[in-house]
Structure 1
Amino acid sequence: MSASIQVLVRVACALAGVVVAAILSRHLGDAGFGYFSTALAIIAIAVALGDLGLNSTAMSRMAAHPRARSETLGALLTAQALLLSVALAPSLAAVWLVLPPGEPRVAGALICLTIPFSLSSAYSAAAQSQLRILVVTVLTALGSAVWLALVIALAASGASLAWVATAFLASSVALAAITVLVCRRHCRPVWAGAGRRAGSLLRAAAPLGFSAVLTTLYYRLDGILLLHIGGAAAAGHYSAAYRFLDTLQILPATLFGVLLPIVSQRIAAGQPIQQLFGLSLRLSAAISLPIAAVGAFVAPETMTLIYSSEFREGARPLAVLLFSFPMIFLGYISSGLLIAAGRRRPLWVVSLIALLASLPVVWILIAAHGATGAALGTVLVEVFVGCTLLAIAARHLALRLPWGGLLRIGVACLVAVFPLALYRPDRLGGLLALVVLAAVIYLACLVLSGAVTRQDLEVLSSRRVVLDA
């Protein structure tokens, strides 16, 4: 399967997630959507604890040693089963402590019961190690499509929060069963000696997994704190706004997936990566800066159009959150460079510092400013993580930042959004026309200033050019 089709499927799944959030927010209201989103944040932390970097590490081993693939799969399932079992009880306790009595707690408990079924991701990792990308892509698309169809049916029938959670559990169980049935045809686990190999796998995965868990914690804890301090409605507004940021992360994740193997190959071969590094930074700035700036201007209309007028209060958190998007790009690029260079320790050290430092700051910001304070806390964390990792990666690999290109991109962005700052039409059609005008001005400024060149476009369209650069 071509990379372009994979990207299109991932984008389609992300957009389906936005549609699901829009339907559920209108159906459940801001409070109900806040409870549902908080439960999802809790299981996201639990699943990160259950994975602990095991899938990525095992996938690498299975690809490198295909004859031991079945043994590695058995070890992966053993290790994940242990971790997920340990994570289930604290998750249920968190639901009991955070969510109010009655239907919200019942719904939260039902959602937490999906945690053990994430064990099926081990079979997906085995399929990916065999380069069966079509299988994994189809399963991902199937999961998104089934959940979207269920949400549409639930909203049409007026289902309660508990029934929505029940449907979420049922769809998770069904998808896990299908994943196991499909992937077991290509790889079956070997259980003999699985415990010993699981220990080895855990030790190898620990540095990367610890970083992933810490990252998930500082990503998700603000929503849980907001529910506790600001109430369900504020949590619902923030979760709706955050959904856009989650969807946008498909862009840096795609860039990360393309660049990591190329950078790894060039570093292993002792070849320079300065040109590729500069292109990556300029590309990330060229994409993320206008999205953040224009998105902040149209945040009120976006929240009302996608969700409803009930969620218009989420416009300010969305506008603030979007300014973390350029820093998220930096984080992805810097993480890729450090992983390729074999420097994984800075990832979890920086993540740990970010988590410990952000908790009191985010608590104070939420207490003072509610959902907007939570969004500001996210921006501060991303600025620290992105800039710190970039500085470490650049110093370790002796890389220079492309200040001239970044400055030209920043100026082009300011020129493009200037019309939006001067005039704001009352009607949506006029606002859309102004956004299109800003996009045209921005692209023209990029080309005329030399911030984006023909050579850059050739690099983007051809992996071979990157390898030969």
Structure 2
Amino acid sequence: MVINTVAKILSTVLALVNIGFITRYLGINGFGDYATVLAFFSFFGAILDLGLYSVSTREISRKNADQEKIMGNVFTLRILSSFLVVVIAPILIWILPYGQNIEKGILIIALNYVFSSSYMVLNGVFQKNLRMDKVTITEFFGKVVQVFFVAMAVKFDWGFDAIMFSVLANTLFTFLIVIFLSRKYVRFSLSFDWIYWKKFFRMSFPVGISAMVTFLYFKMDTIILSILKGSEAVGIYNMAYKIIENITFFPGMMVGLILPLLSMYIFTDKQKFTKIINETAKVFFLLVVPLVIGTLFLAEDIISIIGGEDFIISANVLRILIVALAFIFFGNLFNSILIAANLQKKLMYILSF
């Protein structure tokens, strides 16, 4: 837990440093283009999530689970669905009214999705074996690669495309290392078990729908802004939103660590199950209260340090979004409880509502 937390904190610091480089180099409009492209990255992830990650983590955590069969089939499904993004991206470019920067960025981010989604589905293997520290450390060094790439792009004025390629460099590095490390715990090969796919889809489909709905209220705002108001509005909004987005690593990390334990104990040891939930909720409460209050008072200073004086208008946006962050913390916890309890259909209805 300590290693995970430290690595994630360092990764978050690097992510904020990265934002600082990009905002100062690209300006409000350029940063708006960058944020719009990343919103489409989330769009790709939402429509093709299929619930593979969450449900595969739950299934391999069950007693006597056939890890090789599960991961072989799930990884194959993820690879196939990822390549659909490469087909969807040019269609989006043709339909939507974007400039050249965003169009090229969407093509780059489509390729990036193939690698990112493929390695993320393997995180369940590390979660089950309580070795997520390996993933978080790998992601940290991937972020180092990205920040270095961005710094070079800024220094030598390589332009917007280089900034987008920095995201791809990060993901490709992380993908290769995670694939290598996962072989210690499970050795699987690509599997095409149609009967198992059908069975798995029945379990994962509600989670996939939930992921799509989650996208609608977390990222569709950026896409709508980009179409209706343009890059400047997107840049102002996303300066604040990126700060929130990077802080949400912690509830996501905590929930990722406890999900295998919740799946293990929910039907076998209610006392341990309840204790894990209570302790996690206490940690969230102790983090959320000072975080929200501090941000309400220091919003201008936070924006100025991270994004620069040009983005000071984003301070009030940050004050609004920090309140939402409090609910995101506990929402992550409650979502994981429903998934562990095989209640993903109820989760789908709740998130849709």
Q: TM-score, normalised by structure 2?
A: 0.87
Q: Secondary structure at the match of 2:76?
A: helix
- Counterpart of 1:467? none
C-alpha distance 302-263 of structure 1, shift in aligned 2 (>3 A) = same
- Counterpart of 1:445? none
Aligned mates of 1:285, 1:215 — CA distance in 2 = 23
C-alpha distance 255-139 of structure 1, shift in aligned 2 (>3 A) = closer
Larger mean Cα displacement after TM superposition, 10-19 or 54-63: 54-63
Superposed, 1:41-120 pairs within 5 Å as 41-64=39-62, 68-98=66-96, 100-118=98-116, 119-120=118-119
Aligned mates of 2:8, 2:295 — CA distance in 1 = 21
Q: Secondary structure at the match of 2:327?
A: helix
1:242 aligns to 2:238 (yes or no): no
C-alpha distance 101-283 of structure 1, shift in aligned 2 (>3 A) = closer
- Counterpart of 2:2? 4
Q: Is the 8 A contact 2:128 2:260 kept in 1?
A: no
Q: What are the superposed Cα offsets for residues 421-467 of structure 1, whole Å, 9 maximum, x if unpaired?
A: xxxxxxxxxxxxxxxxxxxxxxxxxxxxxxxxxxxxxxxxxxxxxxx
C-alpha distance 55-341 of structure 1, shift in aligned 2 (>3 A) = closer
- Alignment-mate amino acid for residue 51 of structure 1: D
- Counterpart of 1:413? none
Q: TM-score, normalised by structure 1?
A: 0.67
1:214 aligns to 2:224 (yes or no): no
Q: Secondary structure at the match of 2:98?
A: coil
1:333 aligns to 2:330 (yes or no): no
CA offset at residue 86 of structure 1?
Answer: 2.8
Q: Is the 8 A contact 1:42 1:95 kept in 2?
A: no
Q: Secondary structure at the match of 2:219?
A: helix
C-alpha distance 92-14 of structure 1, shift in aligned 2 (>3 A) = farther
CA offset at residue 64 of structure 1?
Answer: 3.6
Aligned mates of 1:57, 1:50 — CA distance in 2 = 14
- Counterpart of 1:29? 27
CA offset at residue 308 of structure 1?
Answer: 1.1
Aligned mates of 1:153, 1:145 — CA distance in 2 = 12
Q: Is the 8 A contact 2:244 2:325 kept in 1?
A: yes
Q: Is the 8 A contact 1:39 1:95 kept in 2?
A: no
Superposed, 1:194-209 pairs within 5 Å as 194-209=193-208
Aligned mates of 1:273, 1:133 — CA distance in 2 = 20
C-alpha distance 320-48 of structure 1, shift in aligned 2 (>3 A) = same
Aligned mates of 1:214, 1:177 — CA distance in 2 = 30
Q: Unmatched 5+ residue regions in structure 2?
A: none
- Alignment-mate amino acid for residue 78 of structure 2: Q
- Alignment-mate amino acid for residue 315 of structure 1: A
Q: What are the superposed Cα offsets for residues 77-112 of structure 1, whole Å, 9 maximum, x if unpaired?
A: 221123223333334433444462323322222222
- Counterpart of 1:452? none
- Structure number with greater CO (CA < 8 Å, separation at least 6) is 2
CA offset at residue 230 of structure 1?
Answer: 1.9
1:311 aligns to 2:311 (yes or no): yes
- Alignment-mate amino acid for residue 70 of structure 1: E
Q: Secondary structure at the match of 2:240?
A: helix
- Counterpart of 2:292? 292
Q: Which runs of 4+ in 1 moved over 6 A?
A: 272-279
Aligned mates of 1:282, 1:65 — CA distance in 2 = 29
CA offset at residue 349 of structure 1?
Answer: 0.8
Q: Percent identity?
A: 22
Q: Is the 8 A contact 2:142 2:173 kept in 1?
A: no
Q: Is the 8 A contact 2:225 2:234 kept in 1?
A: yes
Aligned mates of 1:248, 1:176 — CA distance in 2 = 23
Q: Secondary structure at the match of 1:158?
A: coil
Q: What are the superposed Cα offsets for residues 105-158 of structure 1, whole Å, 9 maximum, x if unpaired?
A: 222222222122232334444454455434323322221111111111111112
- Alignment-mate amino acid for residue 337 of structure 1: I
Aligned mates of 2:130, 2:262 — CA distance in 1 = 20
Aligned mates of 1:125, 1:285 — CA distance in 2 = 26
Q: How many residues align?
A: 351
Q: Is the 8 A contact 1:128 1:136 kept in 2?
A: no
CA offset at residue 55 of structure 1?
Answer: 2.1
Q: Secondary structure at the match of 1:9?
A: helix
Superposed, 1:304-453 pairs within 5 Å as 304-353=304-353
